[in-house]
Structure 1
Amino acid sequence: MIVEQRTYSLHIGAVPEYLKLYEEEGLAIQRPILGRMVGYFSTEIGALHQIIHMWAYKDLAERSERRAILTADPRWKEYAKKTRPLQISQENKILIPAPFSPWAIDDPALDLAALKS
């Protein structure tokens, strides 16, 4: 299992608008496709005006396949047009869970084959 951490730095004051758009539109598109949301966060202390979201995958191959399905989805393309102007930068990290982490074990209920059918 791997966890992808995505950090978006937004324009000052854009966090509420970004979160509203995501909750109203993006979540319903992204969650069924990417499957295993670890969490979705905004920052309060430290680097401000950031959104951090984390998704778990079996491996890099599954991540690539799910991300390809997402980026090809016309609904996602339309949604992304609305959020890109709010963004300044993006950073991705692939995290490897320690053996005792809850995300070290896969959930068979989130099998990629179900998404394709």
Structure 2
Amino acid sequence: MLVEQRTYVLHAAYTVDDYFAAYVETGLPIQKAVLGGFLGYFVTEFGAQNELNHLWAYQDLEDRRARRARLAEEPEWQRCSQRLRPMIRDMRNKIMYPTSFSPIRELPLVGEDSADTAFTWRPADRPSSTMDHGGHRPDVGIALDGDER
């Protein structure tokens, strides 16, 4: 497993709220569905201002490459990206591998969370799907109540 940290610093003319207004309803859902390993989004309180950090988990570099290529092809992501890019002054990313003593070392992670996060991770060849009429996620084999199917 690896974790990618993506750091965006916004232009002074934009606020974090401006960015999230353009991102949360459109960008985040498509990223979660395609990338699948959402660990979290964080903003700074001290230090660099107007900085956003988001973390994504992948099985390996090939998994990351394939998922990011699929994301780039999504028309909905392309439209969202066109709105976001003018707000971003600086973009950085880094790939991190967990240490042997890290509590996060492999996928899926154990925890309660919504669909399409690293807590409900699935292989890249098993795309996100909607829940069936019984409230189950057929792609991960777990019911909403946490019972295995």
Q: Same fold (TM over 0.5)?
A: yes
Which is richer in strand?
1
Cα contact 2:8–2:88 (8 A) shared by 1: yes
1:5 maps to 5
Residue segments in structure 1 that go unaligned for 5+ positions in a row: none
Cα contact 1:98–1:104 (8 A) shared by 2: yes
- State the aligned residue count: 117
Cα contact 1:56–1:103 (8 A) shared by 2: no
Per the normalisation by structure 2, the TM-score is: 0.73
Shift of 1:113: 1.4
Alignment of 1:1-117 (within 5 A): 1-12=1-12, 13-107=14-108, 109-115=121-127
Per the normalisation by structure 1, the TM-score is: 0.92
Which is richer in helix?
1
Superposed CA offset, 1:4-61 (max 9, x none): 0000010124211101221111111110111111110111100111110000001000
Residue segments in structure 2 that go unaligned for 5+ positions in a row: 109-119, 130-149
Higher relative contact order (CA 8 A, sep 6+): 1
What SS does the aligned partner of 2:126 have?
helix
Q: Distance in 2 between matches of 1:7 and 1:27?
A: 15
2:139 maps to none
Q: Kindly tell me: are residues 109 and 93 of structure 1, through their superposed partners in 2, closer, same or farther at Cα, counting changes over 3 Å? A: closer
